C-alpha cells in the first residue's frame, strides 16, 4: 500500500486549480478509468476532453470568469463535466437539489443570480416554474434529451464536430468554483462559497483520510449537490488518480449488487444509509465483493460489528465536517480508532502542509481543556470564502479567525473530539441539514396556524426525525395530516415532519422567542404527537 504522499507524488505538480489537477492526472493515467456511470466508462484522457469541450460550449454561451451556472440533476457525468468546465473558465457551479419544490429552487437560483441552468428532464418542470417570473430569464439547457422538449441538450452540444475550442484554463486557484447551499438558522439557505484551491486540497486530504490508492474505485451514492460527494468522493478520486463510480442516487435494495458489479473498494455513507442497510434482508447481500473502506458517521459498536463481521468490510472511518469546513476531523486510518468519536484533526498527505486545527471554546471566547464542554471551533485552509451576499452572517460565523461550528463537543486527553449536542437550530436528517427556522416559517404560513416550532427528535435510523408543534388560531381546525400536506406542497420531501403535535401553547424565553431547548427536554411532546410515518 502506498502512503498518501506517495500516491500524490505519482503525478506532476499542479497549480491548485481543478483543470491543472485533472491535467496532471491525465498526463500519467490517461488510459486509466476515471468515471463510470451506468455501464459507461470514461478514461482520464476522455474526461479531460469532455471537460475541454464543455468549457468551449459554455464559453460560446457567454459564460466567463465570475459567472454562476445552476445544475439541477440527480448524479450524472454531466455534473462532473460542468463543474470542471466552469472552473476551467473561472466560473462557479451552483448545484441544486433536484427534489426541491418550486419555491425552494426559486430561492436558490435567484439568490445565486445564475446566468443559466443545466438540468435533467426530471427537474425541468421545477426549473421552468422557478424562473418563470424573472425579469431576465436564465438560459436553460438539458443535460440529456427529453422527448418533445425543444431545448439545447448539453450532450449534443459537446458531441458536435464544430464544438468550439475552450479558452486557456483559468490559473486562479482562489476563484470561487462552487456554492453549497446549506440550511441556516435564519430559515433561508446560505450559499457557502468555496474556491478551487479549497476543493483540490480537500480531495488531497481525503487521500490521507482513507489511504486512497490509484487502483481504488470510489462508489458515489451521495448527491453531487452536497459537500461530501463533491469534496470527498469526486475530489478524493481525482486527487488519487482513482476511479469514481457514479450512481444516480442511493438504493438500499440494490446497494450490494452495485458494489459487486462495479468492483467498488470504497464508499461514503451517512448514518441513515448505514442503518438502513443493516436492517435490510440479508438476501440482498452479495458476497465476494471488493469493498474494503467506508467513510461516514456516526458509527457505533453495532455498526462496526455488522459491517466488519457480516458484510466483510474491514475498515470504517468516522469523520466530521461541514459545508463551511469540509473534512475537519477523522479517526486516523492507521488507528487507533475510538468508536463513536469524531476523531482527531485531519491531516494533509504532505506533512509540510497543515490542515485543520480544532479547539473547544467557552462562551467567553477562551479555550477549554480536556473533558470540558463548549463550542467546537475550526481553523483550516479548507474553509469557505464566506456566505454569498450575506456579509453579516459571514462575520457572525467567525471569532478571532476561528469558524464557529455551532456544535457542542469535548476533547479527551488523547486529542480525540466527541460530539455532545447542536447549539444551532439545525435538524440533521439523513445527511441533510434542515433549518428549524425554515420549517417554523413555512408551517406558520398555514392559515389555521398561530405559531409553530420544529425540533429534532431521535430517529431509529440515526440522526434526527422532525417534530413540529403547532398552536392553532382561535376557532381554526387543522389535523396533523393537513400540516404535513401543507409542507409536502412547499418543501422537499425530506423536510416534511414525521411528527406533528397540536398544542395549546409553546414555551417562550423572556425575549418572547420560542424556547426550543425546553421543547427538546419535554419527553411528553413526542408521546402526544401524531406519528405520520407509522
**Residue-range domain boundaries for the chain:** 4-249, 321-422, 431-531
Check residue 342 and give its pLDDT: 95
421 pLDDT higher than 80:
no
Rounded distance between C-alpha atoms, residue 365 and residue 294, angstroms: 36
Tell whether the torsion through CA atoms of 299, 337, 327 and 372 is positive or negative.
positive
Q: What is the mean pLDDT of residues 443-454?
A: 93
Mean pLDDT of the region 311-324: 96
358, 363, 365, 371: CA torsion to nearest 10:
-40
The CATH class of 4-249 is alpha beta
Distance CA 497, CA 504 (A): 19
The length of the chain is: 534
pLDDT tens per residue across span 8-23:
999 999 999 999 999 9
Cell of 115: 446566468
- pLDDT, one tens digit per residue, over 89-127 is 999 999 999 999 999 999 999 999 999 999 999 999 999
Q: Is residue 510 very low, low, confident or very high in pLDDT (cuts 50, 70, 90)?
A: low
- Residue 533: band (very low, low, confident or very high) from pLDDT cuts 50, 70, 90: confident
Q: Give pLDDT tens digits for 243-300.
A: 999 999 999 999 999 999 999 999 999 888 898 899 899 999 999 999 999 999 888 8
CATH superfamily of 431-531: ANL, C-terminal domain (3.30.300.30)
Tell me whether the CATH fold assigned to 321-422 matches the one assigned to 431-531. no
Q: How many CB atoms lie within 10 A of CB 6?
A: 11
pLDDT at 186 over 80: no
CA distance 253 to 259: 12
Q: Residues near 140 by Cβ (< 8 Å), separated by ≥ 6?
A: 116, 117, 119, 127, 128, 131, 151
Q: Which residue, 77, 75, 157, 146, is CA-closest to 116? A: 157
Q: Which CATH superfamily is domain 321-422 in?
A: Luciferase; Domain 3 (2.30.38.10)
Secondary element (H or E) of residue 259: helix 255-262
Q: What is the rounded distance in angstroms from the CA atom of residue 66 to the CA atom of residue 124?
A: 25
Confidence of residue 509 (pLDDT cuts 50, 70, 90): low
Q: What was the pLDDT predicted at 443?
A: 95
Q: What is the DSSP letter of 283?
A: G
Q: What is the Cα–Cα distance from 294 to 302, expressed in whole angstroms?
A: 15
How many secondary structure helices (H) and strands (E) does the chain include? 18, 27
Give pLDDT tens digits for 24-51: 999 999 999 999 999 999 999 999 999 9
| 198 pLDDT more than 60 | yes
Q: Kindly indicate the confidence band of residue 183, based on its pLDDT and cuts at 50, 70 and 90.
A: confident
SS percent in the chain: helix, strand, coil, step 5: 30, 25, 45
Amino acid at each position: 500500500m502506498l502512503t498518501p504522499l506517495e500516491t500524490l507524488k505519482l503525478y506532476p505538480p499542479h497549480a491548485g486549480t481543478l483543470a491543472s489537477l485533472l491535467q496532471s492526472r491525465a498526463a500519467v493515467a490517461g488510459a486509466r478509468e476515471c468515471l463510470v456511470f451506468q455501464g459507461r466508462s470514461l478514461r482520464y484522457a476522455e474526461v479531460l476532453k469532455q471537460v475541454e469541450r464543455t468549457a468551449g460550449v459554455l464559453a460560446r454561451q457567454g459564460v466567463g470568469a465570475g459567472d454562476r451556472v445552476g445544475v439541477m440533476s440527480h448524479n450524472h457525468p454531466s455534473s462532473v463535466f460542468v463543474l470542471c468546465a466552469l472552473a476551467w473558465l473561472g466560473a462557479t457551479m451552483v448545484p441544486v437539489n433536484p427534489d426541491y419544490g418550486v419555491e425552494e429552487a426559486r430561492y436558490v437560483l435567484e439568490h445565486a443570480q445564475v446566468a443559466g441552468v443545466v438540468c435533467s428532464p426530471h427537474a425541468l418542470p421545477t426549473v421552468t416554474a422557478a424562473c418563470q417570473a424573472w425579469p431576465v430569464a436564465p438560459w436553460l439547457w438539458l443535460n440529456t434529451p427529453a422527448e418533445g422538449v425543444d431545448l439545447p441538450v448539453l450532450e449534443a452540444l459537446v458531441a458536435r464536430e464544430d464544438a468550439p475550442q475552450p479558452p486557456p484554463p483559468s490559473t486562479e486557484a482562489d476563484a470561487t468554483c462552487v456554492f453549497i447551499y446549506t440550511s441556516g438558522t435564519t430559515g433561508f439557505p446560505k450559499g457557502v462559497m468555496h474556491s478551487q484551491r479549497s476543493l483540490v486540497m480537500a480531495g488531497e486530504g481525503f487521500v490521507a483520510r482513507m489511504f486512497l490508492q490509484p487502483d481504488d474505485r470510489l462508489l458515489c451514492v451521495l448527491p453531487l449537490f452536497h459537500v461530501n460527494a463533491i469534496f470527498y468522493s469526486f475530489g478524493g478520486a481525482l486527487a488519487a488518480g482513482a476511479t469514481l463510480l457514479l450512481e444516480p442516487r442511493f438504493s438500499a435494495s440494490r446497494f450490494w449488487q452495485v458494489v459487486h458489479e462495479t468492483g467498488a473498494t470504497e464508499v461514503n455513507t451517512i448514518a441513515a444509509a448505514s442503518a438502513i442497510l443493516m436492517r435490510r434482508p440479508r438476501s440482498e447481500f452479495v458476497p465476494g465483493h471488493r469493498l474494503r473502506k467506508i467513510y461516514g458517521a456516526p458509527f457505533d459498536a453495532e455498526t462496526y460489528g455488522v459491517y466488519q463481521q457480516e458484510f466483510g468490510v474491514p475498515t470504517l472511518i468516522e469523520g466530521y465536517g461541514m459545508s463551511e469546513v469540509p473534512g475537519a476531523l477523522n479517526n486516523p486510518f492507521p488507528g487507533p480508532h475510538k468508536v463513536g468519536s469524531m476523531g482527531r484533526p485531519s491531516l494533509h498527505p504532505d506533512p509540510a502542509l497543515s490542515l485543520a486545527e480544532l479547539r473547544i471554546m467557552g462562551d467567553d471566547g477562551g479555550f477549554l481543556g480536556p473533558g470540558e464542554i463548549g463550542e467546537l471551533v475550526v481553523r483550516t485552509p479548507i474553509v469557505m470564502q464566506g456566505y454569498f451576499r450575506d456579509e453579516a452572517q459571514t462575520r457572525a460565523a467567525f471569532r478571532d479567525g476561528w469558524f464557529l461550528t455551532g456544535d457542542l463537543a469535548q476533547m479527551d486527553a488523547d486529542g480525540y473530539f466527541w460530539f455532545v449536542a447542536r447549539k444551532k437550530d439545525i435538524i440533521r436528517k439523513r445527511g441533510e441539514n434542515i433549518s428549524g427556522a425554515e420549517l417554523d416559517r413555512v408551517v406558520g404560513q398555514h392559515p389555521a396556524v398561530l405559531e409553530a416550532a420544529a425540533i429534532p427528535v431521535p430517529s431509529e435510523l440515526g440522526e434526527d426525525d422532525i417534530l413540529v408543534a403547532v398552536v392553532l388560531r382561535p376557532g381554526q381546525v387543522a389535523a396533523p395530516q393537513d400540516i404535513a400536506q401543507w409542507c409536502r406542497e412547499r418543501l422537499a420531501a425530506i423536510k416534511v415532519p414525521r411528527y406533528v403535535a397540536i398544542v395549546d401553547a409553546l414555551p417562550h424565553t423572556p425575549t418572547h422567542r420560542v424556547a426550543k431547548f425546553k421543547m427538546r427536554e419535554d419527553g411528553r411532546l413526542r408521546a402526544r404527537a401524531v406519528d405520520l410515518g407509522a
